[in-house]
């Protein structure tokens, strides 16, 4: 761990992942290993909770002793398996990042949320000169950027009323380094990282801790669609990293070997500029 960021690698202790049976076995072992850890007993809301990284976050939140988990999903039926497994701990709640009315309704319903994790996102494989680059860029911005902004705006009063809490945004290594095959997705993740920085500064006043999570290639449907299966890190590592970052009150969480490399090169810039005091920087520049 650096002083201002969390790094999670495959050999570190992490929340369980795998098939249903192996998952249960891993849960039992993990629970034995973590019996003495104080449960965080917070109410957590997660968007895109039904599969991929979002599902791993639900599992990790349950493992760490969450008091209640709002599983944000577009289609409520897609949370059935989670409810079967966790019972009343998991409460499905409809959230479509493309439908602001569902976000506002969720904020009116989940008034006890203390940790809000905006995980849902979409990715298209689009290079700058593809015919559909412009409409796909618009789609990705709508979900990955406008959706984030609307989540933050809707849940700001909820978090404030509940003592500040934490807001976590799933960004990416792609927020810092574009790949031409995923150009529009990378642009949307750079924009969501920018919004996340603004939230960090703005919410310092109300005591809401903001975490920007930057996974490299990760095991999920999105990871497979991107062709990452051979190099992908388990989704559980992302979940572990983000809860550890909340515990440690750090802003960045880097997950997996590629993110580790990027974070090393980025550390000084991040410390001075991204996490530095902008007023002090201005004074230094113009004095």
Ligand X SMILES: NC(=O)c1ccc[n+]([C@@H]2O[C@H](COP(=O)([O-])OP(=O)(O)OC[C@H]3O[C@@H](n4cnc5c(N)ncnc54)[C@H](OP(=O)(O)O)[C@@H]3O)[C@@H](O)[C@H]2O)c1
**Token pair of 90, please?**
């998991």
Q: Residue 50 interacts with ligand X (CB under 6 A)?
A: yes
**Nearest residue to 212 via CA among 267, 268, 250, 256:** 250
Residues 103-142, mask of contacts with ligand X (x by CB under 6 A): ----------------xxxxx-------------------
- Kindly indicate which of the ranges 18-26, 200-208, 216-224, 277-285 contains the residues binding ligand X, using the contact rule CB under 6 A: 216-224
Q: How far, in whole angstroms, is CA 214 from its chain's centroid?
A: 8
**Exactly one of 34, 67, 74, 271 binds ligand X (CB under 6 A); which one?**
74
User: What gap in Å lies between CA 223 and CA 225, rounded to an integer?
Assistant: 6
- Kindly indicate which of the ranges 4-12, 49-57, 81-89, 152-160 contains the residues binding ligand X, using the contact rule CB under 6 A: 49-57
CA 229-231-235 angle, 5° bins: 70
- Kindly indicate which of the ranges 9-17, 30-38, 52-60, 194-202 contains the residues binding ligand X, using the contact rule CB under 6 A: 52-60
**Token pair of 77, please?**
């039926």
- The answer to whether 79 and 97 have CB atoms below 8 angstroms apart is no
Which uninterrupted H or E stretch holds 190? Answer: helix 183-203
**Exactly one of 130, 133, 228, 271 binds ligand X (CB under 6 A); which one?**
228
**Exactly one of 7, 42, 44, 47 binds ligand X (CB under 6 A); which one?**
47
User: Minimum distance between the CB of residue 54 and ligand X, rounded to whole angstroms?
Assistant: 5
User: Minimum distance between the CB of residue 278 and ligand X, rounded to whole angstroms?
Assistant: 26
- The answer to whether 5 and 254 have CB atoms below 8 angstroms apart is yes
User: What gap in Å lies between CA 4 and CA 284, rounded to an integer?
Assistant: 22
> Cα–Cα distances in Å, from 134 out to 148, 184, 193?
20, 8, 21
User: Minimum distance between the CB of residue 109 and ligand X, rounded to whole angstroms?
Assistant: 16
User: What gap in Å lies between CA 120 and CA 60, rounded to an integer?
Assistant: 16
User: Which CB sits closer to ligand X, 99 or 206?
Assistant: 99
User: Which CB sits closer to ligand X, 47 or 263?
Assistant: 47
User: Where in 171-190 is the site for ligand X (CB under 6 A)?
Assistant: 172
User: What gap in Å lies between CA 44 and CA 58, rounded to an integer?
Assistant: 9
Q: Residue 92 interacts with ligand X (CB under 6 A)?
A: no
User: Minimum distance between the CB of residue 98 and ligand X, rounded to whole angstroms?
Assistant: 4
User: Which CB sits closer to ligand X, 164 or 228?
Assistant: 228
In DSSP terms, 93 is beta-bridged to 72
User: Minimum distance between the CB of residue 180 and ligand X, rounded to whole angstroms?
Assistant: 17
User: What gap in Å lies between CA 14 and CA 257, rounded to an integer?
Assistant: 15
User: Where in 26-45 is the site for ligand X (CB under 6 A)?
Assistant: none
Note the residues at the interface with ligand X (CB under 6 A).
47-48, 50-54, 74-75, 78, 95-98, 119-123, 143, 170, 172, 215, 217-218, 220-223, 228
């Amino acid at each position: 761990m650096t002083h201002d960021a969390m790094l999670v690698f495959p050999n570190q202790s992490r929340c369980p992942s795998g098939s249903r049976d192996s998952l249960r076995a891993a849960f039992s072992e993990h629970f034995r290993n973590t019996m003495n850890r104080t449960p965080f007993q917070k109410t957590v809301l997660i968007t895109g909770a039904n599969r991929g990284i979002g599902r791993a976050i639900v599992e990790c939140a349950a493992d760490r002793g969450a008091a209640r988990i709002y599983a944000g999903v577009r289609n409520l039926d897609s949370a059935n398996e989670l409810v079967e497994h966790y019972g009343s701990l998991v409460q499905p709640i409809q959230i479509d990042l493309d439908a602001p009315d569902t976000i506002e309704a969720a904020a009116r319903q989940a008034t006890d949320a203390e940790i809000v994790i905006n995980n849902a996102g979409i990715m298209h494989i689009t290079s700058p000169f593809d015919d559909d680059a412009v409409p796909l860029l618009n789609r990705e911005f709508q979900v990955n950027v406008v959706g984030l902004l609307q989540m933050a705006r809707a849940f700001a009063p909820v978090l404030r009323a509940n003592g500040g809490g934490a807001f976590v945004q799933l960004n990416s290594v792609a927020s810092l380094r574009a790949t031409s095959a995923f150009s529009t997705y990378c642009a949307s993740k750079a924009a969501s990282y920018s919004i996340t920085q603004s939230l960090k500064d703005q919410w310092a006043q109300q005591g809401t801790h903001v975490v920007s999570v930057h996974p490299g290639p990760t095991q999920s449907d999105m990871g497979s669609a991107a062709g990452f299966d051979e190099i992908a890190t388990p989704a559980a590592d992302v979940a572990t990293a983000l809860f550890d970052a909340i515990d440690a009150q750090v802003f960045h969480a880097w997950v997996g070997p590629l993110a580790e490399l990027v974070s090393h090169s980025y550390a000084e810039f991040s410390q001075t500029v991204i996490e530095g005091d902008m007023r002090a920087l201005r004074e230094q520049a113009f004095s």
